[in-house]
Amino acid sequence: MLQHLSFKIAGEAGFGIKEAGLIFSRVLLNQNYFVFDYSEYPSLIRGGHNTYQATFSNQKLDCFYSKLDLLIALDQQTIDSDIDQLLPNGILIFDPTVCKIPESLHRKLVPVPLQEIVKQAQAPEITKNTVALGAAMAIIDLPLSALFASLSRSFEAKGEAVLRMNHLTAQEGFNFVKNNFPAITIKTPPSEQTEPRLFLTANDAMSLAAIASGAKAYFAYPMTPASSILHNLAKMERAAGMVVKQSEDEIAAINQAIGASFAGIRCAVGTSGGGFALMVEALGLAAITETPLVVFEVQRPGPATGVPTWTGQADLNFVRHSTPGDFLRIVVAPGDVEEAFHLTTKAFNLADKYQIPVIVLTDKLLAESRQTVTEFDHKKINIDQGNLVKNSSENYQRYANDPSGISPRALPDFGQGLVKANSDEHDFAGYSTEDAQKIEQIVNKRARKVELLKKELPPPTIYGPQNAELTIVSWGSTKLAVNQALQKLKNDSVNHLHLTYLEPLPPQTKLRLEAAKNLVVIEGNQTGQLASLLQEKTGVVINDRINKYNGRPFYPEEIEEKVSQMLKLKAQN
Instruction: Report mean pLDDT in 10-residue bins for the chain, 573 residues.
Output: 86 95 96 96 91 95 97 97 96 96 91 97 96 97 94 93 96 97 88 85 98 98 98 97 98 98 97 98 98 98 96 98 95 98 98 98 98 91 94 95 97 93 96 98 98 97 94 98 92 93 98 97 98 98 98 97 91 81
Cβ burial 429-440 (10 Å sphere, 16+ → b, else e): ebeebeeeeeee
Q: Please count the structural domains in the chain.
A: 4
Residues 134, 94 share a domain:
yes
Predicted confidence at residue 1, as pLDDT, reads 47
**Torsional sign, CA 161, 164, 165, 166:** positive
Q: Report the distance separating Cα 469 and Cα 272, nearest Å.
A: 37
Whether residue 185 is contained in a domain is answered as: no
Cis peptide upstream of residue 189 (ω within 30 degrees of 0)? no
pTM exceeds 0.85 for this model: yes
- Residue ending a domain, choose from 435, 456, 477: 456
Residues 157, 259 share a domain:
no
Residues 25, 109 share a domain:
yes
Check which CATH number belongs to the domain holding 475 and give it. Answer: 3.40.50.920
Residues 15, 139 share a domain:
yes
If phi > 0 it is left, if psi is from -120 to 50 it is alpha, else beta; for residue 418 that is beta
- Residue ending a domain, choose from 326, 361, 380: 380
Residues 25, 98 share a domain:
yes
Residues 370, 244 share a domain:
yes
Nearest to 475 by CA among 416, 396, 528, 516: 528
How would you class 571 by CB atoms within 10 Å of its CB: exposed for 0-12, middle for 13-18, buried for 19 or more? Answer: exposed
Check which CATH number belongs to the domain holding 76 and give it. Answer: 3.40.920.10
Whether residue 187 is contained in a domain is answered as: no
Residues 40, 166 share a domain:
yes
HEC-encoded secondary structure of 443-497: HHHHHCHHHHHHHHCCCCEEECCCCCCEEEEEECCHHHHHHHHHHHHCCCCEEEE
Predicted confidence at residue 380, as pLDDT, reads 85
Domain that holds residue 226: 200-380
